[in-house]
Structure 1
Amino acid sequence: MSVMSMTGFARVDGGAEAAPEGGESPIPWTWTWEIRSVNAKGLDLRTRLPSLAEGWESRIRERAQARLARGSVTVTWTLEQADRAKVPQVVVNEPFLREILALQEKLEADGLVYPTAPSLDRLLAIRGVVEVVERVADTAVIAALEAPALADLDRALDGMVEARGREGAKLKAVLETHLDEMAELTGRAVAAAETQPAALRARMADQLALLLEASPPVSEERMVQELALLATKAEVREETDRLTAHVAACRELLSDGGAIGRKLDFLCQELNREANTLCSKAVDLELTGIGVELKTRIERFREQIQNVE
């Protein structure tokens, strides 16, 4: 499996014909699926659908969960009539028109005779006689479009997986560079630790002199404890061994791929813990500097793995 990023974008356009309620002829509709994804602790899915299509949410969620493990994912579906179907529907308010004609007959019966009968164009020009109605999707349209629209959603989700895979490949290269730097710094720490005995002897001599000059005098048992503690703190082989092991474990995870973000985050915490201990045990500036530089590389590594699925 490849390393997957949680960042991605996918878009799929589609269309089909569907007839609104009322027995009208089918008209063409077009739609667009857009999916956007950024990093998150888990899988946080949000849908933006027309109100009549909100019942699709559970099926959308099932499809997304089958392909994506983590990320804040927003799925948007927009629907409209195809260009060739956007001619508005003209509706004549026949009851209102009959009322107008009935009023004319009544007025004529009362002696108000018009020289000419009202023409059709004048009657249609009366406000309220003719209405222009935009066709809108109704429950019949949504039901008819569900199967082809969700098939296009599958295509969009596949595109999102591909996009996150491409980002993941770039991210993997960056993470491997950080691991190379950490491995190199760990090797330098091992080499620097070999020079610590001389520095340690000097510090032990200074510490012993302070203890001997203390007033009241320090017991022999106390001096042994202090010197043993100093010697123990100066041994960093255990920390460098664990750093090496954690770097190797990170490399193995990157090689395996899949949903490895949480595991990498845990290993990053362990790397940081060992680097902190290394700094606290350092008895010279060289090893301290290596430890600080190592902590900087680990922090950069941690920032990048926040985008790993």
Structure 2
Amino acid sequence: MTRSMTAFTRQEMQHPWGSLIWELRSVNHRYLEPHFRLPELLRDIEGDLRESLRKSISRGKVEATLRFVPEKSSGALQVNQERLQEVLAAAAVVTAAGADTQGINPLELLAWPGVLVESSLDMRVVKQQALALFRTGITDLQAGREREGVELNQLIILRLERIEAIIAEIKQMMPRILQSQRENLQQKLMDLKAELEPNRLEQEIVLLAQKADVDEEVDRLYTHVQEVRRVLSQTGPIGRRLDFLMQELNREANTLSSKSIVAATTRGAVELKVLIEQMREQIQNIE
């Protein structure tokens, strides 16, 4: 499947202890180049983040920003139930000894050391949730890259179809072009009132045909086009392979242009180069 390297996603998760917000954006790059912006409290999960990213994306510059907003109530006071039960059990012992403990003041119980504690935020939970949300973000980012990849695929296919049409036109024109050149050469000789031996004339025609023969270039152009189609249907990263094929297509188009002996094939070669360059620009953004 064709995947673009350009996409953006924003993922947000709310918890009683606070909120996590991931923003991921990717653009084209020759290799995978991740950049993370993390809160200091979550800095030590960067290694796990890089590993998750590497397993999903092979190319592109990826910028990932995490915001962590803790809830103000996350540091609220809580009753240590275990400690409270210990205090009440001790009070029961005192009551059993004959002391009056019926009027125990709850505020006095709360003032007992260890009964009232300040809840602390468990950062292990925050880190786990941040990693889980990041993986969700990667999935959504990949979905965006795939959607744009479908559009890029269609744009390239349209240009491949036009290239095939130009190749067919040139191949169909070549016999007429060579025959026309032969007749032109004969007419020039007649105008100059010069005569050549039949064998010499045939040699000149053969040399002209060899110079103008583009069958090999046309065949290679067609083969490269079919290879581009095959690569587009593959899964996994295909951008580098497509970029190489664009270089090969351009090489054949240049050779075709240099062998051109009439304006029609020159125009065809120029249009080929324009189409190849348009595809190359789109392929620069394919993973």
TM-score (norm 1): 0.69
List aligned pairs for 1:190-205, cutoff 5 A.
Answer: 190-201=171-182
Q: 1:88 to 1:230 in 2, by over 3 A?
A: farther
2:266 aligned with 1:307 = no
Greater Cα shift, 162-171 or 228-237: 228-237
- SS of the residue corresponding to residue 194 of structure 1 reads helix
Q: Show structure 1 runs of 5+ residues with no match.
A: 18-27, 90-137, 214-222
Give the corresponding residue for 1:179: 160
Is contact 1:16-1:148 (8 Å) kept?
A: no
Matching of residues 15-26 of structure 1 within 5 Å = 15-17=14-16
Shift of 1:273: 0.5
What is the CA distance between 1:202 and its match in structure 2?
A: 5.8
1:256-286 Cα distance to aligned partner (Å, 9 max, x none) = 2321111111111111111111111011001
Query: Would you say the 8 A contact 1:16–1:145 is kept in 2?
Result: no
Give the alignment partner of residue 246 of structure 1, picking from 224, 248, 255.
224
One-letter amino acid of the counterpart of residue 284, structure 1: V
Q: Does 1:280 align with 2:255?
A: no
Q: How does 1:40-51 map to 2 (within 5 A)?
A: 40-51=29-40
Structure 2 counterparts to residues 34-183 of structure 1, below 5 A: 34-82=23-71, 85=73, 142-183=123-164
Amino acid in structure 2 at the alignment position of 1:290: G
2:21 is aligned with 1:14: no
Q: Residue 256 of structure 1: SS of its match in structure 2? A: coil
State the Cα distance separating 1:145 from its structure 2 match: 1.0
The residue type equivalent to 2:11 in the other structure is: V
- The reply on whether 1:234 has 2:233 as its aligned counterpart is no
Partner Cα distance (1:233, 1:176) in 2 = 32
Contact preservation (8 Å) 1:63, 1:154: yes
Letter in 2 for 1:7: T
Matched residue pairs, number?
A: 236
- Structure 1 position 227, deviation (Å): 7.5
Query: How big is the shift at 1:52?
Result: 3.0
Q: Contact 1:208/1:227 (CA < 8 Å) preserved in 2?
A: no
Question: Gaps (5+ residues) in structure 2?
Answer: 78-119, 195-200
Contact 2:182 2:205 in 1 (8 A): no
Aligned position for 1:94 = none
Larger mean Cα displacement after TM superposition, 260-269 or 223-232: 223-232
Alpha-carbon deviation of 1:232? 2.5
What is the TM-score of this pair, normalised by structure 2? Answer: 0.74
- Please state how far the C-alpha of 1:200 moved relative to its aligned partner: 3.7
1:224 to 1:190, Cα distance in 2 relative to 1, 3 A = closer
